[in-house]
Amino acid sequence: MSVLNEVLSANKAYADSFGKKGELALPPARQFAILTCMDARLDPAKYAGLAEGDAHVIRNAGARASDDAIRSLVISYKLLGTKEWFVIHHSNCGMEFFTDEIMRNLLSSSLETAALGDKGFYDVGKGPGSDEGAFIDWLTIADKNKSVVDDVKRIRRHPLVPKNITIYGYIYEVETGKLVEVAGAKEAGAAQ
């Protein structure tokens, strides 16, 4: 069953009360960006107190500092003036429940949606699958605190990132809604 009609109905209600939001400036008003996970339990507007036009929010699986995430961050400062960045991973992230090898094996077996059980993800579909997953770094997470620090460090040392941008590292607790600073991230992301 598709959610298309629900989405279009919600959009109509939103557009009907849109008001002057069409006049918001292109650069984010609060001059910062957030790199966070695509997990549906995370609402950056709520956990960071954002309104439309306040900040850039870049999302991907695991909130990882992938080449594409860094591309977006570079555009964010170079063309639109952000001065601070947040890397926000979260507790109970699905990226902690598998490895590159598991993902590659699941895709080789079947392209249907896998299931998550007590022992991790397992395939419930039938082939055909594809071996193309072998060529992708899935950027899985073995240690969420280390992954935040690693991502902050990767962004900090990137040759297109200026030294004057401060990069913060946090874990969002899905159980409490709190942002918890990750030890070592502040030092790794300090502006110079």
Contact 62, 144 (CB under 8 A): no
Domains in the chain: ranges and CATH: 26-96+140-192 (3.40.1050.10), 99-137 (no CATH)
Contact 185, 103 (CB under 8 A): no
Average pLDDT over residues 88-117: 96
Evaluate the CA torsion angle 26, 28, 32, 33 in order and state its sign: negative
Identify the pLDDT of residue 127: 83
* Full-model pTM: 0.94
What span, in angstroms and rounded, lies between the C-alpha atoms of 59 and 34?
Answer: 8
Q: Which residue has the higher pLDDT, 139 or 1?
A: 139
What residues form DSSP beta bridges with 90?
A: 172
Average pLDDT over residues 114-123: 91
Q: At 21, list the tokens.
A: 């939001």
Identify the pLDDT of residue 119: 87
In 3D space, the residue among 99, 192, 93, 82 whose CA is nearest the CA of residue 148 turns out to be 93
pLDDT tens digits along 72-84: 999 999 999 999 9
SS3 letters across 68-91: HHHHHHHHHHHCCCCCEEEEEEEC
Q: In this structure, which amino acid lies at residue 150?
A: D
Contact 71, 154 (CB under 8 A): no
Q: At 180, list the tokens.
A: 């918890």
Average pLDDT over residues 120-145: 94
Average pLDDT over residues 13-40: 97
Band (1; pLDDT cuts 50, 70, 90): confident
Identify the pLDDT of residue 126: 87
- Spatial neighbors of 70 by CB under 8 A, at least 6 apart, are 154, 155, 158, 160, 161
